[in-house]
Structure 1
Amino acid sequence: MKHLFIGAAIAAGITTTGVSAQEITLGRFFGACEDAGTDTKASVGEACIIQSIINAADTEIEGVTINTLPTDWGNYYDQIKAAYAGGTAPDVHVMHRHRVPEFAGLGAIAEISGDLAAAGIDPSDWSPAALDAVSFDGGIYGVPMDFHANLWHVNMDLMEQAGLVEDGKPVLPTSPEELLAHAQQFKDATGQDYLAADFAQFPLGVRTVLALLWQQDANIFTDDGTATINTPQAQAAVTAITQLFDADLADPQLNYADSQQAFLNGEAGILVNGTWVVDFYTAEAAKAETGLNTYFVADFPTLFANGATWADSHMWAIPASIEGDQRMAALKVLAFINDHNIDWARTGHMAVRTSVLESDEYAALPHRDEYTGTAAIARDTPPSERYGAIQDVLNRELQAIWLTGKDVQAALADAEIEVQDLLDR
């Protein structure tokens, strides 16, 4: 990305009407979009949709200008922490629900429950899960924007060719054994890989394994901080994936961009990815030159006893250090984003406002009726200030299994030791 959190500072300006303006620096990931404009209904894809909302806020909020500081998703938290340490944190920034214990626990982000009414934000319109996502130790530390989760994105033409479509819907596996059988049937019929995902870069593989672990009513650590990774359930979850690699029915060396491109090229029947790409894939499938033509979105299938998929929430926070007019200006930006929850939901993410969730406009969004079960099976680990570091350990050890051939039990044992050390700190 071109912009980094370097020297991000609060600056004052003058509007054309002569009123003193508050300049708000806004930190985000989601990717770059240089020509988003201000039409929040026309933009496509995460980067352009969020930037169109920000651009509209910059235009419509009187007395506030917004300087957007996008950065790469993979480096975001390293940079945001460095910005806080250097006293240059953005006035408004996006973060994930799982990071709330870390940032709120350190006193970095502001508790804003007493500011919401004045800013025009009604927390009673947030779903209970959304309110819980931004809550910590009895306070509210941000404004929720979505719930996002892993889905199965399906190429229906290839699935039809493989005989895995019934009544217009994909036939998805209901056990690890059926997963392997379907994958082999698919490869025999199409010559393509059954499943693609980012197993070699970002922790998409971690999230896939976690879902299969939760489906066995297990987790990687307990509420009291005991790591539980080297278990029969974890071994079963990992093996459900590695059996596809061993049979040459999925490629463990694909990164995020390559796995996505393989799916869009028609080189994989299923892509494990999140809600954030539904709008983008819908647009791509409409293009004649794209290998994906008939696109379907499915809930993550249940391969073990209970339905479960990885999920998280995006939210917006402000630093605890900003005060007065600057704080109110930042809250106005949060309120504007909250008001445009339906526009952000066009990405494919699940909305957080009850009034949006119950609206006809939300129900009419493309593919929305195909993954209505996702909200009910959304899961995550217990809260932890070490979430990011724990995820990094799991990503490294799982990649060691499928990229270097490390023994499954040895990798899980090593991960358990490291995660326990993190939890004990």
Structure 2
Amino acid sequence: MRHLIIGAAVAATVVTGATAQEVTLGRFFGACEDAGTDTKASVGEACIIQSIINAADAELDGISITTLPTDWGNYYDQIKASYAGGTPPDVHVMHRHRIPEFAGLGALADISGDLAAAGIDPADWSENALAAVSFDGGIYGIPMDFHANLWHVNMDLMEAAGLVENGAPVLPSSPEELREHAQMVKDATGQNYLAADFAQFPIGVRLVLALMWQQNANIFDGDTATLDNAAAANAVTSITQLFDADLANPQLNYADSQQAFLNGEAAILVNGTWVVDFYSAEAAKPEVGLDDYYVADFPTLFDSGATWADSHMWAIPASVQADQEKYMAALRVLAFINDHNVDWARTGHMAVRKSVIASDEYTSLPHRDEYTGTAAIARDTPPSERYGAIQDVLNRELQAIWLTGKPVDVALSDAEAEVQDLLDR
């Protein structure tokens, strides 16, 4: 009965043109003050998502949306603080790996029974997308994408090093070949082979995770931490060998690593799908050092292909369901975002709707055909309510290895002990 009442409330709001229902929306992705409402013209994550939100604000009758942008690095601390204070946004973005933590505490609304009333068809979501927003038999959000780590390639530097064949970059197939290719780039161009954020956000963690998964290993198995082992050491050493040979810089943060790549100072940048559209636009500018830009699947250095991946989704706090008009207004906002899945995919992210994935508009997006293998090798850690804390431990210990010289075996042993403590709680 509750769902029938909700559907009637939505119809009444649209027909009567009642006073606008304010919906607060919490997000990261960066700031964009001049996004406008044209969802086809904006460039980069921040402006593309804000243009979709602005369009929703303009087009949804009876709804006014207030955006609450937050820095990515502090986002979950602020969201948790807002929940603790009883003032979470009416709608907010989150990652799939955070669902066990939030839904497990009862903080998120199970929206499975209200999707049809809001005009959302979960049957159009891919199987993985549905799984991404599902927890304990319920649906706790609207999936927006799959995003993954890619290898962003400066083809001019690779060409100079003899690492281009048939118009595509030649990527390494082993840790030894990784070192060999890196030296070739250095010898030919004087530039580093690989850049990534090793000193700030957990991009380095994601690199190590991918290389562990390629060895059929993981950082925990059920309630048991599995970090102090040969697979983890192999993964870490594959990266530190580049630092030791001055073929990569471990002190670069996110902004610096990105700038080094755009300046033409690195042949490869390890970063996500979210920057493909932005880098394409930058490479077209004559003043930018990156000219010939290519996107590649994460290479397989060990036994089987794997790259870190996650999913962005939009959730509604469980407390919002107490106000049925606000709740359905929030769901209508999510439906609008779901309807614009192809516009969000312009960032470089992989779409989640079957109808979008099959469309010419999606398949013709720039560089899309260069990383078609990513979906098949996308991996993540097992679901855990302690994911955030586990990631923080790994980031700290890995940075201790490449920034302070902490021995690999000691760092992995310490990390395993801390992760085990988290899993035991």
Q: Give the aligned partner of residue 70 of structure 1.
A: 69
- Does the residue aligned with 2:313 lie in a helix, a strand or coil? strand
Would you say 1:26 and 2:25 are equivalent positions? yes
Q: Give the aligned partner of residue 82 of structure 1.
A: 81
Amino acid in the other structure paired with 1:399: Q
Q: Distance in 1 between matches of 2:83 and 2:236?
A: 37
Q: Give the aligned partner of residue 259 of structure 1.
A: 257
CA deviations over 1:47-79 (Å, ceiling 9, x no partner): 000000000000000000000000000000000
- Does the residue aligned with 1:151 lie in a helix, a strand or coil? strand
> Equivalent residues in 2 for 1:14-413 (5 A)?
19-222=18-221, 224-323=222-321, 324-413=324-413
8 Å contact from structure 2 (residues 17, 61) kept in 1: no
Kindly state the Cα deviation for residue 109 of structure 1 after the two structures are TM-superposed. Answer: 0.6
| Number of residue pairs aligned between Structure 1 and Structure 2 | 410
Q: Which blocks of at least 5 consecutive residues in structure 2 are unaligned? A: 1-12
Amino acid in the other structure paired with 1:233: A
Q: Distance in 2 between matches of 1:144 and 1:183?
A: 38
CA deviations over 1:341-391 (Å, ceiling 9, x no partner): 000000000000000001111000000000000000000110000000000
CA deviations over 1:30-58 (Å, ceiling 9, x no partner): 00000000000000000000000000000
CA deviations over 1:100-143 (Å, ceiling 9, x no partner): 00000000010000010000000000000000000000110000
Amino acid in the other structure paired with 1:403: L
Normalised to the residue count of structure 1, the TM-score between the two structures is 0.96
Kindly state the Cα deviation for residue 285 of structure 1 after the two structures are TM-superposed. Answer: 0.2
Q: Distance in 2 between matches of 1:21 and 1:273?
A: 40
Q: Distance in 2 between matches of 1:18 and 1:217?
A: 57
Q: Distance in 1 between matches of 2:114 and 2:82?
A: 24
Amino acid in the other structure paired with 1:60: E
Q: Give the aligned partner of residue 6 of structure 2.
A: none
- Does the residue aligned with 1:421 lie in a helix, a strand or coil? helix
8 Å contact from structure 2 (residues 262, 290) kept in 1: yes
8 Å contact from structure 2 (residues 160, 188) kept in 1: yes
Kindly state the Cα deviation for residue 18 of structure 1 after the two structures are TM-superposed. Answer: 6.5
- Does the residue aligned with 2:320 lie in a helix, a strand or coil? coil
Amino acid in the other structure paired with 1:68: T
Q: Distance in 2 between matches of 1:34 and 1:225?
A: 45
Q: Distance in 1 between matches of 2:292 and 2:108?
A: 44
- Does the residue aligned with 1:322 lie in a helix, a strand or coil? helix
8 Å contact from structure 2 (residues 30, 46) kept in 1: yes
Kindly state the Cα deviation for residue 19 of structure 1 after the two structures are TM-superposed. Answer: 2.1
Q: Distance in 2 between matches of 1:423 and 1:322?
A: 31
Q: Distance in 2 between matches of 1:72 and 1:29?
A: 6
Give percent identity, aligned residues only: 82
Q: Give the aligned partner of residue 424 of structure 1.
A: 424
Q: Distance in 2 between matches of 1:75 and 1:386?
A: 17
Runs of 4+ in 1 over 6 A off after TM superposition: none
